[in-house]
Amino acid sequence: MLCAGCVDHALESGETTPEKARAHTRQAILALCFGIGAWILSGGFLLLLALVAHSSDALMVGLLFLLVVIGNALLAAAGVGQALAALRTRGNHMILATAGLILNGLYLGVLVGLFSNPRGFLE
Amino acid sequence: MIWFACKQCGKRHGRPDNLAGTLVFCECGQGNRVPWSSTVSEPEPVEEPLVPVPPVPPPRARSEPGGFDLPPLRRRPGERRQPDPAYCLNHAEVASEQTCSDCRCPFCAACVTTLQGKTLCGPCKNLRIRRLSRPAHVSAMAIVSLVVGLIGFPVAFFLTLYAVGQQVLGKSAAGSIVIWLMALAVPAVALTLALLALREIETKPQVGGRSLAAGGAVSALASLLHSITLAILLFLRD
């Protein structure tokens, strides 16, 4: 229960509302989960690809790996969005949001770098 | 007319013929079914002696000397009361000192408060605080930008690779350029929508969905970065 003066003071000082604080926490955790998930899924499929590299299923696993990598890129893009929103809102989970931003951003950067490699496609 | 007596108190009731069979309640609370024909005799009319009514003087207007203070007229349903600007809306006997910034109604000093630099009455203050605490509604443009961005990412990715493959294999350069431009179109639309959504979210406090718009913008940017990088590398190679 707050009086009008305290509400006015809170609004003027830019204090985060409970709704924004909850949104910040949710976005920071989601960003971290998306980043970790993207890396773990890609790493797992890369490991699987390495294990079946010399078998007859290598082509199928390679195609699946490509699809997973592309799917994870979408996950990482959404994760960057969540992290940016969490950092913009500000709150008590800035480290989580920053970690999510780094993980997701790195994933996207690596992916764009890998698939823009001229040696892989042009030669 | 059907006449019957209450089963409990014996009071005589009369109902029109068309109400036979219906249930009526006596003043004692007993429910009685109206019979099809009278069960008691019709009561004889009572003739009361006429009492002379004293003449009532016509009311005089308030403006006349010695006029009556008539009670205020009752408002009809839906009729809006016109407040007297000289008096507080809540306290009809207290002179007004302030005006609410939102509803423009007159109030005394005890009935208003200051919120965000504006003088507000109680209901308007509550309404403003409720609006502020209400969760922001997600921008439709942000949702569309995210969907277009997520769809555009694989589309741009594979179209760009296809255009590069065509160019490497020595096919028509114009065809490759057209495919490459098609690859750029979807992320460009997504990026435009995301930027518009972000601007709307920043300017309107009650609009949310920043994470969705940012996600759409990032996916669109990644697609554009990949497509343009490959195109530049291809151009440099040739």
User: Taking the complete model, does pTM exceed 0.80, yes or no?
Assistant: no
Q: How far apart are CA B17 and CA A70, in angstroms?
A: 85
- Render B207-231 in DSSP notation, one character per residue: EE-HHHHHHHHHHHHHHHHHHHHHH
* Spatial CB neighbours of B12, under 8 Å, sequence gap ≥ 6: B3, B4, B5, B6, B40, B43
Where helices occur in chain B by DSSP H, the ranges are 122-133, 140-168, 173-203, 210-237
Q: How far is CA B111 from CA B70, B88, B128, in A?
A: 29, 8, 16
> Is the CB of residue A95 less than 8 Å from the CB of residue A25?
no
The pLDDT of residue B15: 86
The pLDDT of residue B177: 86
Nearest to B135 by CA among B205, B46, B224, B50: B205
Q: Looking at residues B61-87, what average pLDDT do you find?
A: 60
Where helices occur in A1-123 by DSSP H, the ranges are 4-12, 18-51, 58-89, 94-115, 118-121
Asked if the model's pLDDT at residue B238 lies above 60, the reply is yes
Using an 8 Å CB-CB cutoff, list chain A residues near B135: 19
Nearest to A80 by CA among B162, B42, B230, B211: B211
* Spatial CB neighbours of A60, under 8 Å, sequence gap ≥ 6: none
Q: CA-nearest residue of chain B to A112? A: B226
Q: How far apart are CA B15 and CA B125, in angstroms?
A: 57
Q: CA-nearest residue of chain A to B135? A: A19
Contact A77 B114 (CB under 8 A): no
**Segment B152-203, tens digit of pLDDT:** 998 998 898 888 888 878 777 788 888 889 989 999 999 999 999 999 998 9
**Segment A44-69, tens digit of pLDDT:** 888 888 888 777 777 888 888 888 88
Handedness of CA B60, B64, B69, B75 (dihedral sign): positive
Pick the residue with more confidence: A117 or A75?
A75
The single residue listed with the structure tokens 């209400």 is B134
Using an 8 Å CB-CB cutoff, list chain A residues near B150: 74, 77-78
**Segment B95-140, tens digit of pLDDT:** 888 888 888 888 888 888 887 788 888 888 888 877 776 777 889 9
Long-range contacts of residues B165-172, Cβ cutoff 8 Å, at least 24 apart: B165/A121, B167/B234, B167/B238, B168/A121, B168/A122
Contact A121 B211 (CB under 8 A): no
* Spatial CB neighbours of B122, under 8 Å, sequence gap ≥ 6: B111, B113
